[in-house]
Protein backbone atom coordinates (compact mmCIF):
# COMPACT_ATOMS: atom_id res chain seq x y z
CA UNK A 1 0.00 0.00 0.00
CA UNK A 2 1.12 3.53 -0.68
CA UNK A 3 1.19 5.21 2.75
CA UNK A 4 1.63 8.67 1.21
CA UNK A 5 -1.79 8.37 -0.46
CA UNK A 6 -4.17 5.92 1.28
CA UNK A 7 -6.57 6.08 -1.69
CA UNK A 8 -4.13 4.12 -3.86
CA UNK A 9 -3.22 0.48 -3.56
CA UNK A 10 -1.10 -1.79 -5.72
CA UNK A 11 -1.28 -5.33 -7.02
CA UNK A 12 1.54 -7.42 -8.46
CA UNK A 13 1.38 -8.77 -12.01
CA UNK A 14 3.39 -11.01 -14.32
CA UNK A 15 3.04 -13.16 -17.45
CA UNK A 16 4.06 -16.74 -18.24
CA UNK A 17 4.26 -17.42 -21.98
CA UNK A 18 4.33 -20.96 -23.37
CA UNK A 19 4.14 -22.36 -26.89
CA UNK A 20 0.68 -23.72 -27.81
CA UNK A 21 -0.35 -25.31 -24.50
CA UNK A 22 3.00 -27.05 -24.15
CA UNK A 23 5.71 -26.87 -21.55
CA UNK A 24 8.05 -25.00 -23.91
CA UNK A 25 8.59 -21.42 -22.72
CA UNK A 26 8.51 -18.57 -25.21
CA UNK A 27 11.78 -16.71 -24.72
CA UNK A 28 12.04 -13.05 -25.71
CA UNK A 29 8.33 -12.27 -26.08
CA UNK A 30 7.46 -8.62 -25.57
CA UNK A 31 4.63 -7.87 -23.15
CA UNK A 32 2.88 -4.51 -23.38
CA UNK A 33 0.72 -3.58 -20.38
CA UNK A 34 -1.82 -0.78 -20.89
CA UNK A 35 -4.16 0.85 -18.42
CA UNK A 36 -7.45 2.55 -19.27
CA UNK A 37 -8.75 5.90 -18.19
CA UNK A 38 -12.39 6.32 -17.19
CA UNK A 39 -13.25 7.46 -20.74
CA UNK A 40 -11.87 4.22 -22.20
CA UNK A 41 -8.63 5.75 -23.56
CA UNK A 42 -5.65 3.43 -23.05
CA UNK A 43 -2.21 4.51 -21.90
CA UNK A 44 1.09 2.58 -21.69
CA UNK A 45 2.09 1.29 -18.27
CA UNK A 46 5.00 -1.11 -18.87
CA UNK A 47 6.92 -3.07 -21.48
CA UNK A 48 8.33 -6.38 -20.26
CA UNK A 49 10.23 -9.27 -21.85
CA UNK A 50 9.98 -12.97 -21.07
CA UNK A 51 13.10 -14.75 -19.83
CA UNK A 52 14.41 -18.27 -20.57
CA UNK A 53 11.55 -19.67 -18.46
CA UNK A 54 8.90 -17.73 -20.39
CA UNK A 55 8.26 -15.46 -17.38
CA UNK A 56 8.30 -11.70 -17.04
CA UNK A 57 9.44 -9.89 -13.94
CA UNK A 58 6.62 -9.20 -11.47
CA UNK A 59 5.60 -5.53 -11.57
CA UNK A 60 3.40 -3.33 -9.39
CA UNK A 61 0.19 -1.99 -10.92
CA UNK A 62 -2.06 0.63 -9.40
CA UNK A 63 -5.46 -0.57 -8.12
CA UNK A 64 -8.40 1.00 -6.30
CA UNK A 65 -8.14 1.11 -2.50
CA UNK A 66 -8.29 -2.23 -0.73
CA UNK A 67 -11.24 -0.97 1.29
CA UNK A 68 -13.45 -1.45 -1.80
CA UNK A 69 -12.68 -5.19 -1.66
CA UNK A 70 -13.63 -5.36 1.99
CA UNK A 71 -16.93 -3.46 1.70
CA UNK A 72 -18.97 -4.77 -1.25
CA UNK A 73 -21.82 -2.27 -0.76
CA UNK A 74 -19.70 0.82 -1.50
CA UNK A 75 -20.58 0.74 -5.19
CA UNK A 76 -16.96 0.91 -6.35
CA UNK A 77 -15.10 -1.69 -8.38
CA UNK A 78 -12.49 -3.47 -6.17
CA UNK A 79 -10.04 -4.10 -9.02
CA UNK A 80 -8.26 -2.26 -11.84
CA UNK A 81 -8.56 -3.34 -15.49
CA UNK A 82 -5.51 -3.61 -17.74
CA UNK A 83 -4.99 -4.79 -21.31
CA UNK A 84 -2.01 -7.05 -22.02
CA UNK A 85 -0.48 -7.69 -25.45
CA UNK A 86 2.11 -10.43 -25.94
CA UNK A 87 4.07 -10.59 -29.19
CA UNK A 88 6.95 -12.58 -30.63
CA UNK A 89 8.20 -12.82 -34.21
CA UNK A 90 7.48 -16.57 -34.44
CA UNK A 91 3.97 -16.49 -32.90
CA UNK A 92 0.60 -14.83 -33.39
CA UNK A 93 0.18 -11.74 -31.24
CA UNK A 94 -2.25 -12.25 -28.36
CA UNK A 95 -4.23 -9.50 -26.67
CA UNK A 96 -5.99 -10.08 -23.36
CA UNK A 97 -8.42 -7.35 -22.44
CA UNK A 98 -9.83 -6.51 -19.01
CA UNK A 99 -7.26 -8.32 -16.89
CA UNK A 100 -8.40 -7.75 -13.31
CA UNK A 101 -5.71 -6.70 -10.83
CA UNK A 102 -6.66 -6.69 -7.15
CA UNK A 103 -4.85 -4.79 -4.39
CA UNK A 104 -2.20 -6.66 -2.39
CA UNK A 105 -2.49 -9.72 -4.64
CA UNK A 106 -0.07 -11.31 -7.11
CA UNK A 107 -1.70 -12.29 -10.41
CA UNK A 108 0.01 -14.24 -13.18
CA UNK A 109 -1.50 -14.36 -16.66
CA UNK A 110 -0.78 -17.66 -18.47
CA UNK A 111 -0.41 -17.07 -22.20
CA UNK A 112 -0.42 -19.92 -24.71
CA UNK A 113 1.23 -18.57 -27.84
CA UNK A 114 0.19 -20.08 -31.18
CA UNK A 115 3.11 -20.51 -33.60
CA UNK A 116 2.89 -18.99 -37.04
CA UNK A 117 2.64 -21.63 -39.78
CA UNK A 118 5.77 -22.75 -41.58
CA UNK A 119 6.04 -20.60 -44.64
CA UNK A 120 8.93 -21.85 -46.69
CA UNK A 121 9.47 -19.40 -49.53
CA UNK A 122 6.61 -17.12 -48.51
CA UNK A 123 6.06 -14.33 -46.04
CA UNK A 124 4.79 -15.08 -42.54
CA UNK A 125 1.50 -13.64 -41.36
CA UNK A 126 1.58 -10.05 -40.22
CA UNK A 127 1.46 -9.18 -36.53
CA UNK A 128 -1.90 -7.52 -37.19
CA UNK A 129 -3.45 -11.01 -37.04
CA UNK A 130 -4.48 -10.91 -33.39
CA UNK A 131 -6.27 -13.40 -31.20
CA UNK A 132 -8.34 -11.73 -28.50
CA UNK A 133 -8.84 -13.38 -25.12
CA UNK A 134 -10.86 -12.44 -22.10
CA UNK A 135 -9.06 -11.67 -18.83
CA UNK A 136 -11.13 -14.28 -17.02
CA UNK A 137 -8.41 -16.95 -17.32
CA UNK A 138 -5.99 -15.20 -14.97
CA UNK A 139 -4.91 -17.06 -11.85
CA UNK A 140 -4.06 -15.59 -8.50
CA UNK A 141 -1.13 -16.91 -6.47
Look at strands 91-101 and 130-134 and give their pairing.
parallel
Domains assigned to the chain: 9-135 (2.60.40.1120)
- Report the distance separating Cα 87 and Cα 37, nearest Å: 24
| pLDDT number for residue 23 | 83
Counting as low any pLDDT under 50, the low residues of the chain are 1-3, 125, 127-128
Amino acid sequence: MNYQNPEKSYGRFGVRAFAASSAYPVVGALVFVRGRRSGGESYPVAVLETDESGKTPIIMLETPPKSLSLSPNTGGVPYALYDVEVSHKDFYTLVTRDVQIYPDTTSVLPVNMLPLPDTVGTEKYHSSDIIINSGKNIREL
